[in-house]
Amino acid sequence: MRKLFIAGNWKMNLDDVGAVQLCQDLKTQLAGCGAAKVDVAVFPPFVYLPIVAEALRGSTIAMGAQDVWTEGNGAFTGEVSVDMLKDVGCTFVLVGHSERRHVIGETNELLNKKAKVALAGGLNVIFCIGELLEERQGNKTEAVVEEQIRLGLAGITAEQMANVTIAYEPVWAIGTGVTASKEQAQEAHAFTRKILTDLFGAEVAEATRIQYGGSVKGANAAELTAEPDVDGALVGGASLKADDFMAIINNGASNVGGCGGCCCG
């Protein structure tokens, strides 16, 4: 089984005090976990990255940014480069989150550039995909997801895939309280792995972690991550409170290695 990867996307939430407090609470609660059975990362807003990096010092929690620009440092008002993200301690970046695709209007082609520049610069990428409600209702889920993967990962090598996580986040499940059923999640993840096999071969596809995102909470984390192709979660709302996020981590970890939680060392 692939090691689970639970990540918290804070979106445009919290303030400086709240961001530091959340990190301290997570650090304390994760500290007793010994050989943690899940990888954990947080994705704060750009402006809080430096204080979050400081607050996370000495912990195993990784930090990433929610977005990145396609070019290196230069005349790109308002944007943030790969080098800047690495400078403040990011090791991850989200690319193609549904809010970037559907609220901001980012295209598959732009997201492909972002993924390539982030990987070339040494960041790990969580590449997000997922269909709208009307696309699911119109039986277009597989076509949409396949296009997002093929166009989004075009030109990325099999070697670079070692630094890519896919996040399947059906848009209708994000922030709605409606979670995909474990069967729906498994079906979409297995399909995603099939496309990855076609693009990069079975070994790479098997090793690539595919997170589920969309109204994940403590109460559904265990059943979702028990599915064979669900390798973790990308969590929004429930990542903003340490207790809620820890419930997801612990319930996910209950599926890993025959242990009743991540705290058995």
Stretch that binds ligand 13P, among 54-62, 209-217, 223-231, 250-258 (CB under 6 A): 209-217
Residue type, 264: C
Minimum CB separation from ligand 13P for residue 238, in Å?
A: 6
Q: Verify binding: residue 169, ligand 13P, rule CB under 6 A.
A: yes
Nearer CB in complex with ligand 13P: 204/231: 231
Give pairs for 84-88: CB < 8 Å, separation 24+.
85/49, 85/123, 86/121, 86/122, 86/123, 88/49, 88/50, 88/53
Choose, from 97, 99, 189, 227, the residue flagged as catalytic. Answer: 97
Residue from 152, 213, 232, 252 touching ligand 13P (CB under 6 A): that is 213
Q: Verify binding: residue 184, ligand 13P, rule CB under 6 A.
A: no
Q: What are the backbone dihedrals phi and psi of residue 88, each rounded to the nearest 5 degrees, phi first?
A: -95, 5
Structure tokens given for 54: 């400081």
Q: What are the backbone dihedrals phi and psi of residue 59, each rounded to the nearest 5 degrees, phi first?
A: -105, 175
**Residues between 222 and 241 that touch ligand 13P (CB under 6 A):** 234-238
Residue from 186, 215, 250, 254 touching ligand 13P (CB under 6 A): that is 215
Q: From CA 141, how far away is CA 87, in angstroms rounded?
A: 38
Find residue 213's DSSP bridge partners.
Answer: 234
Q: Is 97 a catalytic residue?
A: yes
Where does this chain bind ligand 13P (CB under 6 A)? 9, 97, 169, 174-175, 213-216, 234-238
Q: What are the catalytic residues?
A: 97, 169
